[in-house]
Amino acid sequence: MNKLLTLSSEPFLLFEREGVSYYRAPNLLVPHGFSTRLGGISAKQYLKSLNLAYGRGDDASVVEENQRRFFHAVFDCDDLSCAARREQIHSADIEYVSRGGIYPPGDGFYTDTPGVILTVKIADCVPILLFDPKKKLIAALHAGWRGTVSGIARKGVEALCAMGADPADIQVAVGTSIRPCCYEVREDFYTAVKDSCGETFAARFVTLRDKEANTFSADVVGMNLAILKEAGVKKENISVSPLCTACHGDLFFSHRASGGQRGTMMAAIMLN
């Protein structure tokens, strides 16, 4: 049985199985997990130890053993072919899948098929998992700021609604990502958000940090919460990890905090 560790991440809970530590959200009553950097076999210091992505400096065999360990801990599954995986490209492209495998690049999956593990990879970007307990539908989304302002969260909700979901029934978990404390951006970021989502939206979520340096703090989680609510998801059906990837280098990989030399984490969900 997976055992519960004590670390303040309310409302998310940290679990550990055979060395693999991962978070669960309290409102997703299907198997799911948000990985940490703990429990894998990556040996390079900056990849230690649960790097779940190709192309970061690990041999493919190491990445696949790490993925196997993560899926084993969360889903009791040792077969990588059950997992839908793809490279993330900061788009709002999501795809329906009915089986595992490596898919062309994009930023999300959704399904009504039990036994298919949906995955997205992150290292500061916002992982979002959706579950409709009435219609038995799930989605996994990777919301970088570009995908966020392109509306990937809304698209995820709409995709489930096109399969019969009512947005008021959809449960959502927003995993650990970089938060405004560490997400310092410049005016071009503010302008890009304004151009996509309007002045009010930009002013709400990209706030002045240092007047002299003309820097801003970006709240990408806040953007996604607003977009989810706008799409009809109820506030009480959304759980959010309070942690920041860049603040907790011992637990998470952070692209920004590491200057880009880092491993990659995964969020994953499956209908049983």
Among 206, 218, 246, 251, binds Zn ion (CB under 5 A): 246
Measure Cα distances from 98 to 29, 31, 103, 111 in Å.
20, 17, 12, 6
Among 247, 256, 258, 271, binds Zn ion (CB under 5 A): 247
Q: Which of 44, 41, 146, 49 is nearest to 89 (CA)?
A: 146
Site membership for Zn ion, residue 243 (CB under 5 A)? no
Measure Cα distances from 143 to 79, 147, 214, 221, 227 in Å.
27, 5, 25, 9, 12
Residues 6+ apart with CB under 8 A from 6: none
Q: In this complex, which beta carbon is closest to Zn ion, that of residue 85 or of residue 179?
A: 179
How far, rounded to the nearest angstrom, does the alpha carbon of residue 86 sit from its chain's CA centroid?
13
Q: In this complex, which beta carbon is closest to Zn ion, that of residue 206 or of residue 246?
A: 246
| Residue 31 Cβ vs Zn ion, minimum distance, rounded to whole Å | 29
Candidate ranges 149-157, 184-192, 215-223, 237-245; the one touching Zn ion (CB under 5 A): 237-245
Q: In this complex, which beta carbon is closest to Zn ion, that of residue 82 or of residue 182?
A: 182
| Residue 181 Cβ vs Zn ion, minimum distance, rounded to whole Å | 4
| Residue 148 Cβ vs Zn ion, minimum distance, rounded to whole Å | 18
Q: What does the per-residue mask of binding to Zn ion show for 160-179, with x meaning CB under 5 A?
A: -------------------x
Q: In this complex, which beta carbon is closest to Zn ion, that of residue 217 or of residue 237?
A: 217
Site membership for Zn ion, residue 123 (CB under 5 A)? no
d(CA 84, CA 102): 6
Work out the number of other CB atoms within 10 angstroms of the CB of residue 183: 23
d(CA 233, CA 157): 8
| Residue 183 Cβ vs Zn ion, minimum distance, rounded to whole Å | 8
Q: In this complex, which beta carbon is closest to Zn ion, that of residue 69 or of residue 179?
A: 179
| Residue 4 Cβ vs Zn ion, minimum distance, rounded to whole Å | 25
Kindly state the helix (H) or strand (E) to which residue 217 belongs, with its residue range: strand 215-218
d(CA 264, CA 56): 8
Measure Cα distances from 39 to 43, 114, 185, 212, 217 in Å.
11, 27, 32, 43, 32
Subset of 181-210 contacting Zn ion (CB under 5 A): 181-182
Q: In this complex, which beta carbon is closest to Zn ion, that of residue 68 or of residue 248?
A: 248
| Residue 48 Cβ vs Zn ion, minimum distance, rounded to whole Å | 20
| Residue 116 Cβ vs Zn ion, minimum distance, rounded to whole Å | 33
Q: Which of 4, 112, 48, 10 is nearest to 250 (CA)?
A: 48
Candidate ranges 52-60, 68-76, 154-162, 244-252; the one touching Zn ion (CB under 5 A): 244-252
| Residue 177 Cβ vs Zn ion, minimum distance, rounded to whole Å | 10
Provide the angle, in degrees to the nearest 10, between the axes of the packed helices 220-230 and 152-162: 30
Q: In this complex, which beta carbon is closest to Zn ion, that of residue 198 or of residue 242?
A: 242
Residues at the site binding Zn ion, with contacts judged by CB under 5 A: 179, 181-182, 244, 246-247
